[in-house]
Structure 1
Amino acid sequence: MTGHESRFARIDVRQWARACALGMNAALAFVCLNLGRMGKTTTTKWGATGIATHVGMSKAQARQALQALEAEGLVRSIRDGLRSIVDSGAGIFAWVPQSVVFGVEGNRVPPMELLREYADPMLLRLFVDMYERHDLPGVGGLPPCVLHERWDKHVLFRSPAWHVVAFTSNHSLHTPLSPDDDLIRPHVVRAGASGTDNYDAWWCRCKDLRATGLLTRVLRLAESADADAATAITFWPAEWQGHDTPEEARVGTAAEAVVQAMLRKNHDAWNDVRALQATGTVVLLPLPAHMVPQATLQTVYRLRYRPHTKETQAWYAWLSHQADVWTQAFHDVEVQWGDSISAAEERERREAGRI
């Protein structure tokens, strides 16, 4: 990579669909060519050698992929090994980070090379198309209309200021998107007026992206179903393995500590938790009492690799601030409940000593 290349690829989604129709190697080559754009121009300096080096194909395969893209009219050779990428003019772009090709430190296989192993160009197409919908500042990832998981709410414990709420899910996912939506349409088999549309390919590819770790899930707690990210808490439950960001893991751990403090020795509440766990996943959260009536829990699906744009940097700054605020709030509640429990236990010991 040279200083002329971008930190992310600006991929025209309409041209991207045509590239994917040419097969996996042509699609991978198209991503690399867009990553090699020189500044804001359509000129790219990437060729067969660079493509073969970074996405796990031979030079002969890379040359064939370039020839297929040129024959389709997606790329033009101009001079001295340079090529020009032909945009559709629609102005709809997916902003894909360079890390999907180069990888990041600690991950041995870059995403593009990993997806090539699936030999499914439509899986690669979905992965890139999701970047066009990805909205970190707005909802913290993909909009809930893309992938939606229902969480039911159960109040386990009430105090004047804070309640402990259990949210339960059986991991039943659905997509509110119309089958005619550009994101989902290539992966749905339409059945016509008398039948039922087949979403199997859509769900299989979403599952594959989850299995590769390229699509992660976090939780988002909002005061209402239509709240934007700026008024919501995003966190990673302490009992989940791994985490997406340290900030969200910190909030999740602090929330768990409050739950443990508030439900200490509350055997009835823990019995209720065990009963709920028999029906699916249970996430316990301490909530300010005024939030409970309208509070909703949402699963946010988020692409793990993110372009280093100003919007992404602003989101990380906001997330860090949010984590500080809620971690401190949860810590204060934990201390308050710890002090009150200690005082109650001391009174019990004194009463026992008088008997």
Structure 2
Amino acid sequence: MQKYSSIYSKKMSKKTEGFFSIGLKEWREACALGLNPAVAFLVLACGTDGSNRETNWSANSVETYGGIKSQRATVAIAMLVDAGLVKSDGNNSRPHYTLTMSEDVIWLPNSIVKGLVDQRVGERKKSAVKAIREAQDVQLLRLYVELYYSQHLAANGGLSRSVFYLEFNKTKHASYGEFVFLGFSRTAHYTAWKSELDFLHDADVLSGVAEEGGNPADAFFPRMDTLRSLGLLELSACLFESNGKDAEILFPVDGPEKSEAEIKRLADQAAEAVLPDWKLINSDFDYLVPVYRHQEKAQLYGIYRLFHRPHTQLTKAWWADLHEKITNGVEQINKVLAS
């Protein structure tokens, strides 16, 4: 049995560099002020101490990490102060700020502001916040940050299917002993419009859509496409017990982690080994997965998770659960190969 502990520890060290928090209410108010104040608010919050409220970061930091020139950054911070979201406790030469924070908290990884270090050249890559700011869409930035509020890795493996998912058509392809091979073909992206974050479909948040006679989907899906194209969302094809909303994940079939992709390789190998008429190169399916007969209701969904992850206990719990599910999937497919 292949072990994945070394793979996991390496990935964790690459993607997690500490975290900070902001209040959901304050974040929405900062976004209402405009793009530059929203960026400034995130940068100041990233620079806070252990209290997540006190910071000595200032306009120079906003320029460094947010890509906003110091003069405009100073104006943005002043707007936050005037709105009561930030309190200035220092002076012009030694600024010190205190951020207000409500009870509903969003936990964010430092790397979305600071960027990740490219180990090949020893330099930091452009941060998520800088890249999104270049799109000049404050609602895109708001969407990105609030996805962290919505995402529950341990419970859903990423974003809930009520928020965003990739759907697959399902076909029962063949039976083999105690197993059934289920074929899955990707179709399109969907949202249930039932997220706890009502901003996903509120016309007042998706600004301009109602005025143009469109609908919320006209703004939501392109924004999600932008986050995907920036590499801020990664896709894992997860096999669920069924298409029921309360169904649990059995195991991932494919994904960005090397160990997830290994399951697809094993599933292809199993199909080629035990199905004489199976021609992988001419397959009509994106995935052909062997499941036990009692798992015949299983359904594949593309689950998105945010690439940058805060190094919290919840993230560690999800990582351990993913490892266990991958092990279960490998064991199940290896039984087909051994039969």
The answer to whether the superposition gives a TM-score over 0.5 is yes
The reply on whether 1:204 has 2:208 as its aligned counterpart is no
Q: Residue in 2 aligned with 1:129?
A: 146
Alpha-carbon deviation of 1:179? 11
Q: Residue in 2 aligned with 1:222?
A: 240
The reply on whether 1:62 has 2:73 as its aligned counterpart is yes
Question: What does the per-residue CA deviation read over 1:119-166, in whole Å, with 9 as the maximum and x for residues that have no partner?
Answer: 111111100010000110000011100114432221111122112110
Equivalent positions of 1:163-174 (< 5 A) are: 163-174=180-191
Give SS of 1:152's match.
strand
The structure 2 residue matched to 1:82, chosen from 96, 101, 109, is 96
Question: What does the per-residue CA deviation read over 1:52-87, in whole Å, with 9 as the maximum and x for residues that have no partner?
Answer: 112222221221211111122111101352111122
Q: Residue in 2 aligned with 1:213?
A: 231
Alpha-carbon deviation of 1:296? 1.5
TM normalised by structure 1 equals 0.80
Residue 32 to residue 191, structure 1, CA distance change in 2 (3 Å) = closer
The reply on whether 1:93 has 2:110 as its aligned counterpart is no
Alpha-carbon deviation of 1:234? 1.9
Q: Residue in 2 aligned with 1:245?
A: 257
Alpha-carbon deviation of 1:196? 7.3
Equivalent positions of 1:220-299 (< 5 A) are: 220-224=238-242, 225-227=244-246, 229=248, 231-236=249-254, 243-263=255-275, 265-266=276-277, 269-270=278-279, 274=283, 276=284, 282-292=286-296, 294-299=297-302
**Contact 2:250-2:325 at 8 Å conserved across structures:** no
Q: Residue in 2 aligned with 1:240?
A: none
TM normalised by structure 2 equals 0.83
Give SS of 1:305's match.
coil
Residue 198 to residue 133, structure 1, CA distance change in 2 (3 Å) = closer
Distance 2:63 2:280 in 1: 58
The total of aligned residue pairs comes to: 311
Aligned-CA RMSD value: 2.6
Q: Residue in 2 aligned with 1:342?
A: none
Q: Residue in 1 aligned with 2:3?
A: none
Residue 270 to residue 256, structure 1, CA distance change in 2 (3 Å) = closer
Alignment gaps of 5+ in structure 2: 1-16, 119-123
Alpha-carbon deviation of 1:35? 1.4
**Contact 2:180-2:290 at 8 Å conserved across structures:** yes
Distance 2:52 2:172 in 1: 56
Aligned residue identity for 2:99: I
Following superposition, which runs of at least 4 residues in structure 1 exceed 6 angstroms of deviation? none
Equivalent positions of 1:5-20 (< 5 A) are: 7-20=18-31
Alpha-carbon deviation of 1:180? 8.4
Give SS of 1:61's match.
helix
Q: Residue in 2 aligned with 1:45?
A: 56
Alpha-carbon deviation of 1:22? 2.1
Distance 1:180 1:252 in 2: 33
Alpha-carbon deviation of 1:37? 2.1
Give SS of 2:304's match.
strand
**Contact 2:20-2:110 at 8 Å conserved across structures:** yes
The structure 2 residue matched to 1:323, chosen from 321, 326, 332, is 326
Give SS of 1:182's match.
helix
Distance 1:74 1:218 in 2: 37
